[in-house]
Amino acid sequence: MRAATVRTKSMIAALEAGTQLLEAVRYAGQGTGVLGLFHGPSGSGKTHAARAIIEQGGGDGFFLRAREVCPPHAMLADWLEAVAGHNFGLRTPSDLYARLIAVLRQKPASITVWDEADYMLAGPRHPRLNIARDVADEAGHAIIFLSVTSLAHRLERPTSFMAQIATRVVARIEFGAIGLADAGLLAHELIENLELSRDLVSACTRAAGGSIRPLLHLYQQIERAAAAGGVRGALSLAQAVRFGLLSAPPAAESNQPQIIRAAESKKANVA
């Protein structure tokens, strides 16, 4: 499949949010951080969108993953290593924090993305979330949190502490099921040597449950199976089944693909 950033509705919103965050940081300067929140179910495209922001932002970007078992000291060490490009060894949390602030202040047009940010709610008084807020404030830094449910829900009905987080969120995007138009755009932009029909795109979207990650996996398998069978050009759902790219669904079930397999039929071109 082609390597490309496809401008789906959620991707356009995410790229605009990245621009908004950086503009807010430049305007606020040091002493005030800005936060973004991308939330939605797993596989809905949050991580892909955040990586696109980093790649196209024109500044430094750092992608980190919060872990369920990760004390604040380890969080600071990981963050500093990502920003500075090397490991500083074992130091006190206050030293790691001071060094992280100093390095980030030298990178004003930068964004840190924290994936699995729901884990930052762990522990009394949420120390990791406190650290992220303080780093954003002191360094004048932008942070994007990727949340499935927990952090997003807590910010909707914030306590006094969570209100301090909520007031710093300048961009919030909810990622949901992908629409048929965007699913078709992904197929058109990413799949090589094939043009999937609307009924095939619709069937794949239903099979993926509207989630981008499994949808792209289906597209990748179709592309590989088509290449193995010599199938090229426009492709409908009926043709995909006929040429062995998809197994036919049981008669009692909806018209959606079941198991993708390599084409076993002889090579064929689809007009």
Residue 166 is classified by DSSP as H
Same structural domain, 185 and 98: no
Closest residue by Cα to residue 240 from 182, 190, 187, 189 = 187
Do 123 and 75 share a domain, yes or no? yes
Domain match, 128 and 151 both: yes
pTM, two decimal places: 0.83
The residue among 174, 207, 231 that closes a domain is: 174
13 and 127 in a single domain? The answer is yes
Give me the pLDDT at residue 266, please: 36
Does residue 80 belong to any structural domain of this protein? yes
Query: Per the structure block, which two tokens stand in for 54?
Result: 């980093």
- Six-digit token pair at 101? 């602030």
Tell whether 20 and 154 lie within a shared domain.
yes
Q: Are residues 143 and 210 in the same domain?
A: no
Decide if 235 is inside a domain. Answer: yes
Any domain includes 141: yes
Say whether both 118 and 200 belong to one domain.
no
Rounded distance between C-alpha atoms, residue 186 and residue 45, angstroms: 12
Provide the sign of the torsion angle of the four alpha carbons 123, 128, 131, 136, taken in this order.
negative
Do 208 and 152 share a structural domain? no
pLDDT for 76:
94
- For residue 146, is it within any domain? yes
pLDDT at residue 27, as a whole number: 78
* Residue where the block lists tokens 């404030």: 137
**CA dist., res. 119 & res. 122, Å (int):** 6
Low-confidence ranges of the chain (pLDDT < 50): 250-271
CA angle, corner 45, sides to 42 and 50, nearest 5? 115
Residue 81, Cβ density class (10 Å: 0-12 exposed, 13-18 middle, ≥19 buried):
middle
Q: Which domain holds residue 267?
A: 178-271
Query: Both tokens of residue 6?
Result: 């496809």
**Whether residue 129 sits in one domain with residue 223:** no
The 10s digit of each residue's pLDDT in 182-207 is 999 999 999 999 999 999 999 999 99
258 in any annotated domain: yes
Q: Count how many domains the chain has.
A: 2
Domain end marker among 129, 158, 174:
174
Yes or no: say if 170 and 60 are a contact pair by the CB < 8 Å rule: no
CB 132 within 8 A of CB 120: yes
Clarify whether residues 160 and 186 are in a common domain: no
Q: What is the pLDDT of residues 212-232, one digit of tens each?
A: 999 999 999 999 999 998 999
pLDDT of the residue at 249: 53
Establish if 266 belongs to a structural domain.
yes
Cβ contact 148:117 at 8 Å: no
4 domain residue, yes or no: no
Domain end position, chosen among 131, 150, 174: 174
The pLDDT score that the predictor gives to residue 258 is 47
